[in-house]
């Protein structure tokens, strides 16, 4: 009798506790509702911010697409900029006039105009093959030629360009946001502690999930696709930047400090160049993730090769789906090998980072002495 009684007494509080936990804690945690109200609140109150983001991303995507469609313009801009930065204002001016002269040929000859102002699609294809030859080797250039030829024969070139421009634009945006975060992470353990779980979340969340808020905030089309892509593709760049900088040997950092580097000089002259292979690996990963996400983003109307695959699925056209998929594979291989080649150090050429640095910082030392 006594035993039964004590048993009941023991069960009583446990049940009470359980129902209390259910009512007071578990039922009140409604993550889905919270997220929805957060999304509602954002779209109701942060309209100007959303419009700003949309305009920025749209401009980036448009510029990238234009640059890819008319590669000669962008080449001209780079030549002029390069001449100006490396050789001085006068050389830049001469290059500008020369480029203007070449492009003004278009006013006199229809053929020149077609070639220069509205360069035909094969121009970019040629550039891809040449880039493969320069960065990787002749075998790869041969493969690139075959791949590009097949894409043309499948009549998927415009879609490929669309996908490529989305990939490039969202990768650029992801790097602009991600690299500084990676640098900040490497400099402070506290920042790393905060950012790391967020990156885990970004990477493990099924990519389709990003499409929903992106579509709510920005409607359907290219921009939400690019935004979902940049979120999904950013983590590796952040992670590998952080890791690369943290792995720079203690003695190299000490050498920098011992010769009187300011923290900023230490970052740009020691840490980033030595972390370059790792950072390049991160950039490569970002590009590859962006490619896989862009295909998925076609579900909210981002267009490109993903749309081709989607059509194939919806109409059960195996051939069309396979063609779209194959084009994605070719694009992936080309992007991967060419972007990876920038991470490998070549003696005398430096890494891709060094190349960029050379391009943009070439005259700095000279300028300082003049000042």
Partner 1 sequence: MTEKLVVEDLYKIFGPKPERAMELLRQGYDKNEIFARTGNTVGVREASFSVQEGEVFVIMGLSGSGKSTMVRMLNRLIEPSYGHVYLDGQDITQMSQSELIAMRRQDMSMVFQSFALLPHKTVAENAAFGLDVSGHSAAEQREKALRALEAVGLAPNADSYPDELSGGMKQRVGLARALATDPTILLMDEAFSALDPLIRTEMQDELLRLQQEHSRTVVFISHDLDEAMRIGDRIAIMEGGSVVQIGTPEEIVSNPANEYVRSFFYGVDVSQVYSAGDIADRRRVTVIQRPGMDLRSALGRIQNYAGDIGVIIDRNRRFQGLVSAESLTRAIRQSPGGDYPDAFLEGVRTVAADTSISDVLGMAAESEYPLVVVDEEGRYSGTISQSTLLLTLDRTQQA
Q: Which residues bind partner 1 (CB under 8 A)?
A: 249, 251-252, 254-262, 265, 269-270, 273-274, 276, 345, 347-348, 350-351, 354, 365-366, 368-369
Backbone phi and psi for residue 288, each to the nearest 5 degrees, phi listed first: -65, -40
Backbone phi and psi for residue 346, each to the nearest 5 degrees, phi listed first: -115, 130
Please provide the DSSP assignment of 231-247 as one string: HHHHHHHHHHHHHHHHT
Do 310 and 299 touch, CB atoms closer than 8 A?
yes
**Measured between alpha carbons, how far is 163 from 187 in angstroms, rounded to an integer?**
35
Select 229 or 341, whichever has its Cβ closest to partner 1.
341
Query: From the CB of 218, what's the least distance to partner 1, in Å?
Result: 41
Select 166 or 266, whichever has its Cβ closest to partner 1.
266
Query: From the CB of 91, what's the least distance to partner 1, in Å?
Result: 17
Select 98 or 261, whichever has its Cβ closest to partner 1.
261
Query: From the CB of 351, what's the least distance to partner 1, in Å?
Result: 7
Select 270 or 290, whichever has its Cβ closest to partner 1.
270
Select 265 or 292, whichever has its Cβ closest to partner 1.
265
Select 201 or 356, whichever has its Cβ closest to partner 1.
356
Query: From the CB of 371, what's the least distance to partner 1, in Å?
Result: 9
Query: From the CB of 19, what's the least distance to partner 1, in Å?
Result: 47
Please provide the DSSP assignment of 280-327 as one string: HHHHHHHHHHHHHHHHHHGGGT--THHHHHHHHHHTT-HHHHHHHHHH
Place of tokens 């001209």: 76
Query: From the CB of 348, what's the least distance to partner 1, in Å?
Result: 7
Question: Under DSSP, is residue 206 helix (H, G, I), strand (E, B) or coil?
Answer: coil
**Measured between alpha carbons, how far is 231 from 201 in angstroms, rounded to an integer?**
11
**Measured between alpha carbons, how far is 291 from 279 in angstroms, rounded to an integer?**
18
Q: Which residues pair with 350 in a beta bridge?
A: 346
Query: From the CB of 335, what's the least distance to partner 1, in Å?
Result: 24
HSE-CB at 24 with a 13 A cutoff on CA atoms is 6
Select 58 or 269, whichever has its Cβ closest to partner 1.
269
Question: Under DSSP, is residue 346 helix (H, G, I), strand (E, B) or coil?
Answer: strand
Query: From the CB of 291, what's the least distance to partner 1, in Å?
Result: 29
Determine the length of the chain. 371
Question: Under DSSP, is residue 170 helix (H, G, I), strand (E, B) or coil?
Answer: helix
In sequence order, what are the residues at sequence separation of 6 or more whose Cβ sits closer than 8 angstroms to the Cβ of residue 333?
A: 143, 147
Select 113 or 345, whichever has its Cβ closest to partner 1.
345
**Measured between alpha carbons, how far is 42 from 35 in angstroms, rounded to an integer?**
10
Q: How far is CA 271 from the centre of its chain?
A: 22
Select 116 or 272, whichever has its Cβ closest to partner 1.
272
**Measured between alpha carbons, how far is 235 from 196 in angstroms, rounded to an integer?**
9
Query: From the CB of 270, what's the least distance to partner 1, in Å?
Result: 7
Select 28 or 347, whichever has its Cβ closest to partner 1.
347
Question: Under DSSP, is residue 59 helix (H, G, I), strand (E, B) or coil?
Answer: helix
Query: From the CB of 273, what's the least distance to partner 1, in Å?
Result: 5
């Amino acid at each position: 009798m006594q035993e039964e009684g004590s048993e009941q007494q023991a069960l009583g509080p446990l049940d009470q506790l359980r129902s209390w936990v259910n009512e007071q804690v578990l039922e009140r945690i409604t993550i889905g509702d919270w997220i929805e109200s957060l999304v509602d609140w954002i779209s109701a109150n942060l309209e100007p911010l959303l419009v700003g983001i949309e305009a920025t991303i749209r401009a980036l995507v448009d510029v990238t697409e234009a640059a890819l469609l008319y590669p000669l313009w962008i080449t001209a801009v780079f030549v002029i900029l390069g001449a100006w930065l490396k050789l001085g204002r006068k050389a830049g001016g001469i290059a500008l006039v020369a480029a203007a002269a070449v492009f003004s040929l278009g006013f006199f000859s229809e053929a020149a105009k077609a070639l220069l102002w509205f360069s035909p699609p094969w121009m970019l294809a040629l550039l891809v093959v040449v880039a493969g030859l320069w960065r990787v080797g002749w075998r790869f250039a041969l493969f690139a030629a075959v791949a590009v030829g097949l894409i043309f024969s499948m009549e998927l070139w415009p879609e490929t360009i669309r996908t490529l421009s989305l990939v490039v634009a969202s990768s650029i945006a992801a790097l602009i946001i991600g690299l500084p975060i990676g640098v900040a992470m490497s400099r402070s353990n506290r920042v790393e502690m905060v950012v790391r779980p967020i990156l885990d979340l970004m990477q493990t969340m099924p990519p389709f999930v990003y499409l929903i808020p992106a579509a709510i905030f920005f409607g359907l089309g290219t921009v939400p696709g690019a935004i979902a892509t940049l979120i999904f593709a950013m983590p590796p760049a952040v992670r590998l930047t952080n890791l690369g900088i943290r792995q720079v040997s203690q003695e190299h950092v000490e050498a920098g400090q011992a010769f009187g580097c300011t923290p900023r000089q230490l970052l740009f002259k020691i840490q980033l160049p030595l972390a370059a292979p790792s950072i390049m690996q991160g950039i490569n990963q970002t590009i590859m993730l962006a490619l896989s996400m862009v295909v998925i983003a076609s579900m909210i109307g981002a267009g490109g090769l993903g749309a081709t695959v989607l059509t194939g699925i919806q109409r059960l056209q195996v051939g069309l789906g396979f063609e779209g998929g194959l084009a994605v594979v070719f694009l992936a291989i080309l992007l991967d090998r060419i972007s990876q080649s920038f991470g490998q150090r070549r003696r005398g050429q430096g890494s891709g980072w060094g190349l960029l640095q050379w391009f943009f910082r070439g005259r700095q030392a000279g300028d300082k002495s003049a000042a």
